Amino acid sequence: MSEHAQRHIDPAEEAAFLDAIDRWIEREVRPVVMHHDHGDIWPAALVEQMKEMGLFGATISQEYGGLGLPATTYAKIITRISSYWMAITGIVNSHLIMSAAVERFGTEAQKRKWLPLFASGEVRGGLALTEPDAGTDLQGIRTTAVRDGDDYVINGTKTWITNGIQGSCFALLVKTDPKAEPRYKGISLFIAPKGEGFKVGKKFDKLGYKAIDSAELVFEDYRIPAENLIGGVEGEGFFQATGGLELGRINVAARGVGLAEGALRLATEYAQVRKTMGKPIAQHQAIQLKLGEMVTRAEAARLLVANAAQAYDRGERCDMEAGMAKFFASEAAVRNSEEGMRIFGGYSYSKEYEIERFYRDALLMCIGEGTNEMQRMIIAKQWIKRNPV
Ligand SMILES: Cc1cc2nc3c(=O)[nH]c(=O)nc-3n(C[C@H](O)[C@H](O)[C@H](O)COP(=O)(O)OP(=O)(O)OC[C@H]3O[C@@H](n4cnc5c(N)ncnc54)[C@H](O)[C@@H]3O)c2cc1C
- Going from N- to C-terminal start, the domains of the chain cover 11-124, 126-236, 244-386
pLDDT for res 245 = 76
Q: Give mean pLDDT, residues 230-257.
A: 93
Rounded distance from Cα 285 to ligand 1 centre (Å): 39
Which architecture characterizes domain 11-124 according to CATH? Orthogonal Bundle (1.10)
Buried b (16+ CB within 10 A) or exposed e, 216-236: bbbbeebebeeebbbbeebeb
% of the chain exceeding 70 in pLDDT: 99
Give 325-382 pLDDT, tens digit per residue: 999 999 999 999 999 999 999 999 999 999 999 999 999 999 988 999 999 999 999 9
Q: Is the pLDDT of residue 321 over 50?
A: yes
Question: Which atom in ligand 1 lies closest to the alpha carbon of residue 130?
Answer: 11
Residue range 126-236 forms a domain whose CATH class is mainly beta
- CA-to-CA distance for 107 and 123, rounded, in angstroms? 19
Confidence of residue 148 (pLDDT cuts 50, 70, 90): very high
Rounded distance from Cα 209 to ligand 1 centre (Å): 16
Assess whether the C-beta atom of 127 lies below 6 angstroms from ligand 1.
yes
pLDDT for res 317 = 86
For the entire predicted model, the pTM comes to 0.96
Residue with CA nearest ligand 1 atom 35: 373
Answer for the pair 248, 312: CB distance below 8 angstroms, yes or no.
no
Question: Which atom in ligand 1 lies closest to the alpha carbon of residue 371?
Answer: 47
For β-strands 214-225 and 198-203, DSSP reports them as antiparallel
Give 212-238 pLDDT, tens digit per residue: 999 999 999 999 999 999 999 999 999
Which architecture characterizes domain 244-386 according to CATH? Up-down Bundle (1.20)
Q: Give mean pLDDT, residues 157-165.
A: 98
Domain 11-124 shares a fold with domain 126-236: no
369 is catalytic: yes
Phi-psi sector, 229: left (phi>0), alpha (psi -120 to 50), beta: beta
Assess whether the C-beta atom of 3 lies below 6 angstroms from ligand 1.
no
Confidence of residue 2 (pLDDT cuts 50, 70, 90): very low
For β-strands 125-128 and 169-175, DSSP reports them as parallel
Residue with CA nearest ligand 1 atom 22: 135
Rounded distance from Cα 347 to ligand 1 centre (Å): 32
Answer for the pair 142, 130: CB distance below 8 angstroms, yes or no.
no
Residue with CA nearest ligand 1 atom 23: 135
